[in-house]
Amino acid sequence: MTLDMAEKPTRHRRVVMLMIFVCVAITFLDRGNISLTAPMMGKELGISPKDMGWILSGFGWTYALFQMPSGWLVDRIRPRYFYPAILILWSLSTVFLGIVGSFISLFCLRLLIGALEAPSYPINNQVVTSWFPDRERAGAIGFYTSAQFIGLALLQPLLLQLEAVHGWRSVFYVTGVGGLIWGVVWWLFYRNPRDSRANAAEVELIQSGGGLVDLGSASKKRPFAWDDLFTVFKYRKLWGVYIGQFAVTSCQWFFLTWFPTYLITYRHLSVLKTPLYVALPFIAAFIGVQLSGFASDRILRSGRSLGLARKTPIIVGLLLSSSILGANFVESPEAVIAFMCLAFFGNGMASIGWSLISHVAPRHLIGLTGGTFNGISNLSGICTPLVFGYLAQAGYIGLGFAYVATIAVMGALAYVVMIGKLERVE
């Protein structure tokens, strides 16, 4: 067959990228919606800052704890079925957040949502590893990761207005129902590469470029082995990625939990002004992650090393994240938001860590390695809300920014000194 007559690759992987984008937007909306309701909820239910810190951290306990079991399951259950199952269940739990009204019920439901969301990012990583060649993967990960920022930037102001008119419970009803609908859509339309509308030329393009097109297929699955568990913990290279991502998510969890409360309660911003101020840092983070993902792929295509292309944006982003400390030294709301935007822009740049897992995880342990990576990194979902909660109770909430900045610098150092050459662990 001549070159002119050769079948041109379809671009169905772009549809898959959009589908993951929506999943991530819903995932982060359902883990961050409680931060919007916290000021009004706390006042109505008489919840102290310390107890609110526990409620806000509830998600992180089970989300981190269930990452490794989730990663093991992701290696064994096809994403067409696993993703909608957990999405529908955590969306139902989100709806119930609007029904209950006590500390213990709110905390328990957040524990449940954390457990059910635990497999989501390992599934995302498996899907993108099976659907995208190496040279496109960071861009794809940057694109869908940006949903955690742009979704919140666009929807949080609307949800704040909804809360002002219909009360804090309405926020959980609306976000929960949206997730229920999307769970059905994913089940109806998602397929693995070989079973999808992608033609043979696109599948070959993905596979020849390093994509693992048979991940998540119905092929025979490996039985559990304790050696697999040992593998994901024994390499310094993997620990460098784990620690670096813990630093990234430490900053994220401030914005997902205490940020609206900080603006309203501790910076005394009016509710009418707050929606715009809440949105701006998320827009900055969206720009950061888009820039990082596509710049990383551009560096790689220019002939530079894989390590330079993937690690440089993350290191620079983590160092910029430490600028959040500057919010302690300014008074005007505009200056505070400027530091928040700079820090979250850097955090967005650093949010392509999943691209490293795609490159360094053992081929047969993509899900387990991703689960371990996400579990260790999201221990910050416990630490950050509690640190800010106890400091707020004591009147020293500003020290929380010193905590986040210190962790960010430590994460950058982990990338510099621990990872070394970026290559797959076999």
The tens place of each residue's pLDDT in the chain, 426 residues long, gives 444 456 788 888 889 889 999 999 999 888 878 888 888 888 888 888 888 889 988 888 898 888 878 877 887 888 889 999 999 999 999 999 999 888 899 999 999 999 999 899 888 888 888 888 877 877 787 788 778 777 777 887 888 888 888 888 999 999 999 999 999 999 999 988 887 787 888 888 888 877 777 665 654 555 666 677 777 888 888 999 999 999 999 999 898 888 888 888 888 876 556 677 778 898 999 899 888 877 887 887 787 887 788 888 899 999 999 999 999 999 888 899 999 999 999 999 998 887 787 778 777 777 678 778 888 888 888 889 899 988 988 888 889 999 999 999 999 999 999 887 777 777
Determine the angle formed by the axes of helices 380-394 and 236-257, rounding to 10 degrees.
40
Q: What is the dihedral of CA 231, 125, 411, 326, to 10 degrees?
A: -160
Q: How far is CA 22 from CA 93, 103, 151, 281, in A?
A: 19, 31, 9, 20
Please give the Cα distance from 2 to 5 (Å, whole number). 5
Are residues 11 and 202 in contact, defined by beta-carbon separation less than 8 angstroms?
yes
DSSP 142-194: HHHHTHHHHHHHHHHHHHHHHHHHH-THHHHHHHHHHHHHHHHHHHHH---GG
pLDDT of amino acid 315: 93
Q: Which domains does the chain have, with CATH numbers?
A: 12-208+225-417 (1.20.1250.20)
pLDDT of amino acid 94: 95
Residues ≥6 apart with Cβ < 8 Å to 9: 198, 199, 201, 202, 204, 205
Residue in this structure with the two tokens 């990583």, named with its chain if needed: 125
**∠ Cα 184 188 192 (to 5°):** 120
The two three-digit tokens of residue 226, written as one number: 């304790």
Among 401, 409, 393, which Cα is nearest to 340's? 401
pLDDT of amino acid 222: 57
Please give the Cα distance from 398 to 4 (Å, whole number). 64
Please give the Cα distance from 188 to 385 (Å, whole number). 37
pLDDT of amino acid 3: 42
Are residues 322 and 409 in contact, defined by beta-carbon separation less than 8 angstroms?
yes
